[in-house]
Chain A
Amino acid sequence: MGPTALQQEAKAENMDWSPIWISMKTASLSIFITFFLGILAAWAVVLIRDGRLKMILDGILTLPLVLPPTVAGFFLLYLFGVKRPLGKFFLDFFSIKIAFSWGATVIAAVTMSFPLMYRSARGAFEQVDPNLTAAARTLGMSEWEIFRKVLLANAIPGVVSGGVLAFARGLGEFGATAMIAGNIAGKTRTLPMAVYSEVAAGNMDAANQYVLVIVVIALISVMLMNWAAMRTENRRR
């Protein structure tokens, strides 16, 4: 074993696991929030009959997807900064400083992954035969019942794949996170941040390891959700 190999081994042992832990926490909590928010928003937009209102609302809800992440992050900072209305509100009333805290990574991930969830869910809802919802209404089912038993139940594959996309987006979130949460080691340094930092510092080996972890997590989650979607489909054939 040459000296370089020894050095590498030492580095690997000293590898900072916190970005993995932080990313897992952020991605899990944010997909949980995004999943429900996205589905509810999609339901609300599907129920709106007024075409113009629908278009405007859809535009606003999709905005983070089409904006550069740093610009979205800029807006978040504008809202949640310590001297900004929302940030000040949280600081004054709950003594919580949002910007550059761990919570900020969740806010960034939710904001950026929300449009993917919302759009996938809306698409999936609109694919459901409108006669099914009409039939449900004539059978006296309440709108909430129709949402659960008819709309959501028949849109599951589309909704789940939207969830996969949103999870991946949340896990990979970089730009907006950098703006509002920063890159504080052990606090807001998520995996993508860690990869960036290590490469910037010239530690390619450490970066390699983080990259490997990201690839494995992403692959496993995508396959798990695909498998779940396939199973619900097969059951009814």
Chain B
Amino acid sequence: MENSGNEALLEVDIRKKLKEFSLEIRFSCGRGCLGILGPSGCGKSMTLKSIAGIVTPDEGRIALRAPGMRETGEQILFHKAQKINLKPQERRVGYLFQNYALFPNMTVEENIRSGLSSHAQRKGFGGGKEKPMSREQQNARVDEMINRFQLSGLENRYPGQLSGGQQQRTALARILAYEPQVLLLDEPFSAMDTYLREGLRLELAKVLSSYEGASVMVTHDRDEAYQLCDYLLLLDNGRVLTAGRTREIFQDPGTCQAARLTGCKNISSIERLGAHQVRALDWDGLVLTVEKEVGPEITSIGIRAHDLEPVSDGEGINRIPVGNPSVTEMPFEWYVTLENGLWWKVEKTIHTHSSAGVIPEWLVVQPEAVLLLRDE
């Protein structure tokens, strides 16, 4: 993946045979956050663990570069052909685990300090070992992190006595105290209650934007990916489906799997009727006009539920009959499945319990909102 105007800090090109499939992934990323979005068990975590050195890929190469140095200062973490495989201890990688992996036997302060006493192991760029930190330097760093992550007052608590958000902040403090060359985030919110996520996402967004190096975040949540990641890589069954700028991928996912991963629920196979006209085979043969030209490689179309708008009559292009829909009540939305199978949702308040008058007879989709999709 090319990040234009942003030099590559981390280059990954690895292959590993797993039980169900083989992981084959190649990307490079610079400053900013790269998101790897994919369903559970698609090889996302395995990719992060390979970068960190927790698992060893079968083949390939992983390299890090110091910011601001184009040619020199490259550090090979793993290179099968050259038989290089640095220990995790020597990679200086910050890994935020799904469950944060705080040491339950250590207090918040001891957790943050745990990576500081062992600097003798760390290799800087150029391979030279760094001097261990003095006790005073360690104290200063720990204090700095405790302040930055608003953990004062909690220094002597054990992780079991912290809330989910405090645990995440402690884990981030522990990682950043160690000054990693790259940040790896493994589903950072999956262990979190829904009501905590919003606030924590904002906190993490701040941390990520102030971080100098490259960061890679693995997630299966499209909202998380959209909010936190500048670049996105969609992964399924160990293979890269597509990669690029997050917004562009959401606007034009390109393939059916990619559309599904970015949250498009309405996907239908099509029959091509003309350069700009298709028949949706899964939606009772609905005929739709699309803005882009339908090439021979296009096999399906997708419509995001948000792009369906109510309209008063059936006159005009891309009018969709609602027919006899099935309606499901959610706290803040009606989930509406049209008679032809399309899925739509209408916002509502918590006080409304009747969908009468809310569901129109016709919906419309703008031609530019119809996604043209290839099979992979």
Which residues in A have some Cβ–Cβ distance to B below 8 Å?
A: 129, 131-132, 134-142, 145, 149-150, 153-154, 236-237
User: For B93, what are the chain A residues with a Cβ–Cβ distance below 8 Å?
Assistant: 138
Decide if A145 touches B99 in the complex (CB within 8 Å): no
How far is B97's CA from A132's CA once the two chains are assembled, in angstroms? 9
* With A141-B115, A149-B106, A154-B104: A129-B99 Cβ-Cβ less than 8 Å: yes
* CB-nearest residue of chain B to A131: B101
* With A142-B89, A142-B121, A236-B105: A137-B54 Cβ-Cβ less than 8 Å: yes
Smallest Cβ distance from A1 to chain B, in angstroms?
60
- Decide yes or no whether B335 CB sits under 8 A from chain A: no
- Which of A131, A135, A137 meets B87, CB within 8 Å? A137
* CB-nearest residue of chain A to B114: A139
Closest 9 CB pairs of A and B: A139-B115, A137-B88, A135-B101, A131-B101, A153-B105, A140-B118, A236-B158, A138-B95, A140-B121
How far is B118's CA from A132's CA once the two chains are assembled, in angstroms? 16
Q: Apart from A138-B54, A139-B178, what 19 extra A-B contacts exist at CB < 8 Å?
A: A132-B101, A132-B103, A135-B103, A136-B103, A137-B54, A137-B88, A138-B88, A138-B93, A138-B94, A138-B95, A140-B92, A140-B122, A145-B118, A149-B105, A153-B105, A154-B103, A236-B105, A236-B158, A237-B158
How far is B300's CA from A158's CA once the two chains are assembled, in angstroms? 57
Smallest Cβ distance from A231 to chain B, in angstroms?
13
Decide if A131 touches B97 in the complex (CB within 8 Å): yes
- Decide yes or no whether B174 CB sits under 8 A from chain A: yes
User: For A237, what are the chain B residues with a Cβ–Cβ distance below 8 Å?
Assistant: 158, 160-161
- Decide yes or no whether B53 CB sits under 8 A from chain A: yes
* CB-nearest residue of chain B to A143: B89
User: For A150, what are the chain B residues with a Cβ–Cβ distance below 8 Å?
Assistant: 103, 105
Smallest Cβ distance from A30 to chain B, in angstroms?
29
* CB-nearest residue of chain B to A141: B118
A-B contact pairs, 26 of them (CB 8 A): A131-B98, A134-B52, A134-B95, A135-B97, A135-B103, A136-B114, A138-B53, A138-B89, A138-B91, A139-B114, A139-B118, A139-B174, A140-B90, A140-B115, A140-B121, A140-B178, A141-B89, A141-B114, A141-B118, A142-B121, A149-B105, A149-B114, A154-B103, A154-B104, A154-B105, A236-B158
Secondary structure class of chain A's binding surface, majority of residues: helix
User: For B245, what are the chain A residues with a Cβ–Cβ distance below 8 Å?
Assistant: none
* With A145-B118, A150-B103, A236-B160: A137-B89 Cβ-Cβ less than 8 Å: yes
Decide if B104 touches A236 in the complex (CB within 8 Å): yes
B322-359 interface mask toward A, CB cutoff 8 Å, 1 = contact, 0 = none?
00000000000000000000000000000000000000
How far is B122's CA from A120's CA once the two chains are assembled, in angstroms? 34
Smallest Cβ distance from B113 to chain A, in angstroms?
10
- Residues 50-97 of B at the A interface (beta carbon under 8 Å): 52-54, 87-95, 97
- Which of A131, A141, A236 meets B99, CB within 8 Å? A131
Smallest Cβ distance from A236 to chain B, in angstroms?
4
- Decide yes or no whether B197 CB sits under 8 A from chain A: no
User: For A149, what are the chain B residues with a Cβ–Cβ distance below 8 Å?
Assistant: 103, 105-106, 114
Decide if B103 touches A134 in the complex (CB within 8 Å): no
User: For B118, what are the chain A residues with a Cβ–Cβ distance below 8 Å?
Assistant: 139-142, 145
- Decide yes or no whether B119 CB sits under 8 A from chain A: yes
Smallest Cβ distance from A136 to chain B, in angstroms?
7
User: For B95, what are the chain A residues with a Cβ–Cβ distance below 8 Å?
Assistant: 134-135, 138
- Residues 105-134 of B at the A interface (beta carbon under 8 Å): 105-106, 114-115, 117-119, 121-122
- Which of A134, A141, A145 meets B101, CB within 8 Å? A134
* CB-nearest residue of chain B to A232: B105
User: For B103, what are the chain A residues with a Cβ–Cβ distance below 8 Å?
Assistant: 132, 135-136, 149-150, 153-154
User: For A236, what are the chain B residues with a Cβ–Cβ distance below 8 Å?
Assistant: 104-105, 158, 160-161
User: For B122, what are the chain A residues with a Cβ–Cβ distance below 8 Å?
Assistant: 140
